[in-house]
Chain A
Amino acid sequence: MILLPSLLAAEAGGQGRFESDAETVEQALRELPVENLLFDERGELRGLVNIYVDGVDMRERGGLSAPLGEIETVRVVAAIAGG
């Protein structure tokens, strides 16, 4: 299950949860209708987008290439900053 925050859910037509058969975190994110908000024009994940895999920061699971085999949720979280 891929979970999106409210702004991205609005951009995905009001849908905040997506099922996925993807093999990696990156594949799952790139299948989303908000792919071009998560990745910039070089294909790099935007710096203030955080990804949590079953509650653990993606970077501790191998980053975008982390396998999704037994994973239940991938949660997209905007960095906590700004005003």
Chain B
Amino acid sequence: MVGALILAGTRKGLFLLRGDEDRREWKVNDPLLPGWEIFHAVVDPRDGMLYACTNSFVYGATVHRSSDLGQTWERAEELGLPEESELKLERTWHLEPGHESQPETLWLGGAPGVLFRSDDRGKTWEPVRGVVEHPTREQWNPGAGGMCCHSIQLDPSDANRLYIGISAAGVFRTDDGGESWSPANKGTAADFMPDPYPEVGQCVHKLLVHPSRPDRLWQQNHCGVYRSDDRGESWERLDGNGLPSGFGFPIALHPREPDTAFVVPEEGAENRVTCNGRLGIYRTRDGGASWAERPNGLPAPAWLAVMRESMASDRLDPVGIYLGTQSGSVFVSPDEGESWVEAARQLPPILSIEVAEWQ
């Protein structure tokens, strides 16, 4: 049997939830890494190593890794920013396993708007100078969560092509393995700036590449939901026709259907809570042309918030959709959004959700 394993990163440690075959019953483990804020955790599908972006208001930002699903941990030995950058690492935000052809490589995003690369499976990390020294950096501004590099996406068809999302700097693409980075924000709005369509400065909230059609990107932005079919060269805004709001943080994709996506709209930037007094998950199956709420099993009335890293999808059939709330509940749909179960409640505030498979 193959089951799903949820990694719920919280303000107070990492929780693992193991599901039954139907993904409707879940067992919650005691928290791992107590005392640490877990901004993101992920199992590297290439070797089963568990990584966590760990932050402490006293002891700073780092990365932990475990080869035994959290029974024992090692901490990164080298992680920091060069003195000449005049920047200090503030937070670690997102860890992305590298391309299949580079089994030792990992990527790490952090604040203030920085990217690191490891070529020894997370033991040591080198800052990516093309991002740290990006010529547009002076035009970037931090959002409410700091100036975070929260999205790192690989093109599975080309090991040299990656995308990052930084709030509020926008989306950037490299075609040369991380040496140089070009803004990829054409058509995405920055309504909060004097020029609403600048080259950089957009507040991307979450960026995803579709795994089976890697020229297609999706993003939930501060100013709308967008899709690109040309590797980020241009973006189409998609938040009409069924969505109650263009504002939100996470987005999830169906791994085999490029036209299917899930979002959790919020009222707006000044009232960051789910719309209409309920937890509304909206699904499109036509590339964003239309959206429909999938409420079966979700709480109402409810005024909740789901953070940018707190939604994920698995690769099972049917696809499971997972989300965690700031109020400590984990909701799972084992059937692509048709119905939902509450897998856990009363956890600490949830910062991130990832899902892995276990046997």
Number of interface residues of B (CB under 8 A): 17
B144 interface contact, C-beta 8 A: no
Q: How far is the CB of B278 from chain A (nearest CB, A)?
A: 28
Most chain B CB within 10 A, of A8, A34, A41, A48, is at: A41
- Within the complex, which residue of B59, B62, B79, B81 is in contact with A7, where a contact is CB–CB below 8 Å? B59
Q: How far is the CB of A44 from chain B (nearest CB, A)?
A: 9
Residues in B whose Cβ lies below 8 Å from that of A78: 58-59
Contact of A38 with B83 in the complex, beta carbons under 8 Å: no
Overall SS of chain B's interface? loop
Contact of B56 with A7 in the complex, beta carbons under 8 Å: yes
Contact of B57 with A40 in the complex, beta carbons under 8 Å: no
Q: Give Cα A46–Cα B83 distance, bound, in whole angstroms.
A: 16
Residues in A whose Cβ lies below 8 Å from that of B62: 36-37
Contact of B57 with A81 in the complex, beta carbons under 8 Å: yes
Contact of A11 with B80 in the complex, beta carbons under 8 Å: no
Q: How far is the CB of B221 from chain A (nearest CB, A)?
A: 31
Closest A residue by C-beta to B83:
A42
Residues of B at under 8 Å CB distance from A?
34-36, 56-60, 62, 75, 77, 79-81, 83, 88-89
Residues of A at under 8 Å CB distance from B?
6-8, 10-11, 34, 36-38, 40-42, 46, 48-49, 78-79, 81-82
5 tightest Cβ-Cβ pairs between the two chains A and B = A41-B80, A7-B35, A37-B59, A78-B58, A48-B58
What are 15 of the A-B contact pairs (CB < 8 Å)? Answer: A7-B56, A8-B59, A10-B35, A34-B59, A36-B75, A37-B60, A37-B62, A37-B75, A40-B60, A41-B79, A41-B88, A46-B59, A46-B60, A78-B58, A81-B57
